[in-house]
A and B are shown apart, each in its own frame.
Chain A
C-alpha cells in the first residue's frame, strides 16, 4: 500500500468534525441524525401547539365564534396529525437514533444512509402536509383518523385537495418509519459490543426494540389503508365507500390495527426513559431489571390484539367486544409490573430532584392516572357511554402529554450534557417543569368530568352546561403553550453559554457516560467489552473491561 492510499484510507475512516453546517446536511452520523430529528420534531411540536391553542380558544365559549366550523375541523385534524406524525414519532426516533448505538456500544446504526433517508423524509412530508393550507379547498378536515365516508366527501371537487395531500403525507410518514424500524431492529440485533448480551442491554434499548417490532408489523396496515383510501378518493375505487358497496368499518380495522399499537410504540420508549432515569437519581439499581425488560416484549405481543377497543360503539359484534375487552385489560398486567418496579426503585433511595427526575416523576404520576382511566375505557359498558366523548380525549392526553411529552423532556434534560457537552440551567428547568405539570393537569383533567357528563369530542360548539370545565381546560392550554418558552430559552442559551459538563455529570452508569461529551464521530476509540449488568448502583463494579481505552 502506498503512503497516499494509506492517507486516503485514513481520511475515510475519520470523517470531518461535526460543525453547525453538518446539521443541515445529509449526514450519516447517528448522533447528528438524532439531533436533526429532535429539533425538526420540536419545531412541529410548536406548530401543533398553536393549532391546539386555536382549538382551546374556540372552546372557551360554548358558541362556534372564534373560527369557521370548517377551520375548526381542519385545526383538530392537523393538530392530531402533526402531533403524532411530525412530533411524537420523530422525536422518539431522534432519541433512539442518538442513544441506541451509544448504549449498545456501536459506532453507528446498521444502515447509516437509510437512516439519513428516513430522517429527510420527515421535513418533506411535513412540508407537503403544511402546503395543504395553501390550497383553495384548505387542509384535510376529516380528523386524524380520517374515517370514510366523511374523508371521501370532497366538497371542492378538486383532484388535489387537503385530504389528498394528507394521505400522501401519512403514507410517506409510514414509509419513513418502516425504514427507521428496520434500521433500529437490525442495529440492536447485530451491532452490540462484545459482552453486550440481551440481559446486559439497558432497559431503554429493550423498550425501543419492542416498540420498533410493532412498527414492523403494524405500519404496513396503516400505510396500505391510507393508499386504499387515496385510491377511493382519487381513482374511483370502492374499498371503503358504502354507497358503492365498500365497507367503511373495514377501514377502521386497518386504521386501528396500527394506530392502537402506535400508542405502545410511543409509550414503550418512555417506559425505557423512566427505567434509565429513576436508578440514576435514586442511586439504586432498577428493581427487577429482567422482568421489566421482558415485560416490554409482552406488551408488544398484546398490543397486536387490542385494536377493536376503539370500535366498541362501531359496528362490532358482541363476541368481539368481549374478547377485546379482556385482551385490553390484560395489558395492565405487564404495565403494572413496570410501574411497581419504578416505585420500588425510587423507594429507599437517595433521591436527587434534578429536572430530569422531576419530569420523570411527574410523568409517572400522570401515567398512572391515565392507566386507571384506560381500564375504565376497556370495560365495554362504561366505554359505550364515554366513547367519543372528552373522557377519551382526557385519557389520551394524560398518556401522550402527561407521560410521553414529560418523558421526552426528562430525556432531553438528562442527555443534554452528553449531546452538547454543556449543562442546562437548573432553575429554568425547574420552572419549565412546574409550568408544564400544572398546565397539563389544568388542561386535561377537566376533560374527564366533561366526558362523563356527555360532551362529545371534536365539537366546535357545545351546550352551555359544559362551559365551566371548558374554561379551565382552555386556561390550562394557554399556560401549557407558555411553558415551552423557558425550555426554548434554556436550550438555546445553554448550548452556547452553559457550563462545561464533563463526561458524566450525573455519575450515571452506562456506555454513553464512559466517553467524552459530546462523543466523537465514531463514538468509541476501541469497542467496549461489557462485563456486567446495566444498573450497578451501590455495587462498585466496573461496567466494561477496557474502560480506559474507550476514548
Chain B
C-alpha cells in the first residue's frame, strides 16, 4: 500500500471513531429518566452498541457513497471494471473481526445481565452471585414485596403486610423490590420504560421479579404483551418515593375505605354498549378492582 493510502485510511478511521464516540455519548439522551439501578447498566450497554453500530454503518455507507459519487461509468463507456474475484486476506479479516466483535458484545451483555441480577421466571433461587444492582440496596437489606394482579384490563397491587391494595404502584427508592406477578386471564407484560424492565406475566404462574428503584418521581407502567381489545388502555402510574414517604403512604392508605377504582377499559366499554354503532365483539372488561387507594386521576 502507498503511504498516501495508509494516511487517508488512518484519517478516515479517526474521523469515524470520533463521530461514533459522539453518537454513543448522545444515545444516553434518547431514553426516559434512569429510575432504577438496572437502567444505568442497560443504558451503558446500549451506548456501547450505538458506538460500534455507528462506526459500522457509516463505514459501509460511506464507502458505498464514495463509489456512487466517484466511480460511475461514463455515458458511452461500455467497458467492464477490473475482474477482481476476491481477496483471501481481506475475506479472512472481515470474517474474523465480526466474529471477535460478536464474542465481545456477547460477553459484555452477559456481564451486564449478570450484574442486573434478574431472576428468571423459572428459577426462584439466585444463581448469579455478583449481583451488583442487588448490592446497591445497602444500607438497608429490606426487600419490599408487592403482589401484582394483571387482568383484562387493569392493574392491582397488594401490599400484604400493610393490608393495602391500590391501582397505582408505590415503591420505596434505594431498596430492592420484589414483585410477585400473576395474571387472572391472558398473558400480560409488566413494563416500566423508566425502569428499562419488562416481564411477561403468564397465567397460572407466580413470577418473581426483582429490581432496585433509585430515583424519586412518577412514571408510567404499561402492559407490553398484547392482551386484547383495550390493551392500549392498560396503563397506570408508578410512584417512587423516599422510604419514609413510602411508609407514611402505606399507613395512610391502610386507613382508607376500599372503593372501586376508575378503569378506562371498563368506562369505554360501558359507554360503547350504550351507543348504536358498535365495533366487533369484545371480551368484556373485568370489573374495576376495589382498592384502598385508587390511582390518582390527573385532569
Q: Are B105 and A69 in contact (CB under 8 A)?
A: no
Interface code A296-340, partner B: CB below 8 Å = 1, 0 otherwise? 000000000000000001111110011001100110110011011
B230 contacts A69, C-beta separation under 8 Å: yes
Interface residues of B in 81-99 (CB under 8 A from A): 81-87, 90-91, 94-95, 98-99
Within 8 Å CB of A329, what residues of B? 102, 105-106
Chain B contacts of A516 at CB under 8 A? none
Bound-complex Cα distance A339 to B196 (A)? 32
B220 within 8 A of A: yes
**Are A73 and B229 also in contact (CB < 8 A) when A348-B81, A381-B41 are?**
yes
Tell whether B72 is near chain A: CB-to-CB under 8 Å. yes
Chain B nearest CB from A32 CB (Å) reads: 34
Number of interface residues of B (CB under 8 A): 93
- Whether the pair B79, A283 counts as a contact (CB closer than 8 A) is yes
Interface centre among B57, B80, B229, B284 (most CB of A within 10 A): B80
Contact of B53 among A68, A143, A376 (CB under 8 A): A376
Our pick among B45, B78, B199, B232 for the contact of A313 (Cβ within 8 Å) is B199
B79 touches A382 (CB 8 A): no
**Residues from chain B with Cβ under 8 Å of A99 in the complex:** none
A318 and B203 in contact, given A284-B82, A385-B197 (Cβ under 8 angstroms): no
Decide if B42 touches A385 in the complex (CB within 8 Å). yes
Give B46's nearest chain A residue, CB to CB.
Answer: A382
Cα distance A375–B45 in the bound complex, in angstroms: 12
A337 and B80 within 8 A (CB): no
Question: A317, A361, A459: which contacts B121 (Cβ < 8 A)?
Answer: A317
Chain B residues near A452 (CB-CB < 8 A):
30-31
A10 within 8 Å of B (CB atoms) = no
Q: Is A71 an interface residue (CB 8 A)?
A: yes
Contact bitstring B211-254, A, C-beta under 8 A = 1, else 0: 00000000010111111111111010000000000000000000
| Cβ of B109 under 8 Å from chain A | yes
B283 and A155 contact, CB distance less than 8 A: yes
Chain A residue nearest to B121 (CB atoms) is A315
Stretch at the interface among A20-28, A168-176, A181-189, A242-250: A242-250
A459 to B153, CA, bound (A): 13
- Known contacts A70-B279, A329-B102; A379 and B57 CB within 8 A of each other: no
- Cα–Cα, bound, A480→B99 (Å): 37
Chain A residues, Cβ within 8 Å of B284: 155
**Are B280 and A343 interface neighbours, CB within 8 A?**
no
| Interchain CB contact under 8 A, B82 and A348 | yes
Partner among A67, A315, A364, A462 whose Cβ is within 8 Å of the Cβ of B232: A462
| In the complex, A14 has a CB within 8 A of chain B | no
Q: Which residues of A contact B128 (CB under 8 A)?
A: 318
Most chain A CB within a 10 A radius of its CB, from B79, B128, B202, B278: B202
Q: Tell me the chain B residues, 267-299 only, with Cβ under 8 Å from chain A.
A: 268, 278-284
Q: Please tell me if the beta carbons of A361 and B68 are within 8 angstroms of each other in the complex.
A: yes
B272 vs chain A, min Cβ distance (A): 8
Closest to B53 in A: A372
Which residues of chain A from 235 to 293 have a CB within 8 Å of any chain B CB? 242-243, 248-249, 282-291
B42 to chain A: which residues have CB within 8 Å?
A: 381-382, 384-385
**Beta-carbon contacts under 8 Å, B1-37 to A:** 30-32
Check: A153 CB closer than 8 A to any chain B CB: yes
Q: Mark A414-439, 1 if CB is under 8 A from B, else 0.
A: 00000000000000000000000000
Which residues of chain B have C-beta atoms less than 8 A from A549's C-beta? none
Q: Choose among B85, B106, B220 the residue that contacts A285 (Cβ–Cβ < 8 A).
A: B85
Binds A, one of B140-148, B157-165, B171-179, B181-189: B181-189
B117-154 vs A: 1/0 string, CB under 8 Å? 01011110001100000000000000000000000000
Contact of B64 among A162, A243, A321, A365 (CB under 8 A): A365
Q: Roughly how many angstroms separate A387 CA and B106 CA in the complex, as a whole number? A: 18
Q: In angstroms, how far is the closest chain A Cβ from the Cβ of B263?
A: 15
In the bound complex, how far is the Cα of B232 from the Cα of A283, in angstroms?
52
B191 at interface, CB cutoff 8 A = yes
CA–CA, A379 to B48, complex, Å?
11
A69 near B232: Cβ-Cβ < 8 Å: yes
**Contact between A249 and B64, CB atoms less than 8 A apart:** no
CB distance from A537 to the nearest CB of B (A): 5
Bound form: Cα–Cα A314–B198 in Å: 9
Give chain A interface residues in 329-370, CB to chain B under 8 Å.
329-330, 332-333, 336-337, 339-341, 343-344, 346-353, 361, 364-365, 368-369
Question: Other than the known A242-B203, A285-B83, A388-B189, what 12 A-B pairs have Cβ atoms closer than 8 Å?
Answer: A69-B268, A73-B229, A142-B228, A149-B187, A284-B80, A284-B81, A290-B86, A314-B200, A364-B64, A376-B53, A382-B49, A456-B222
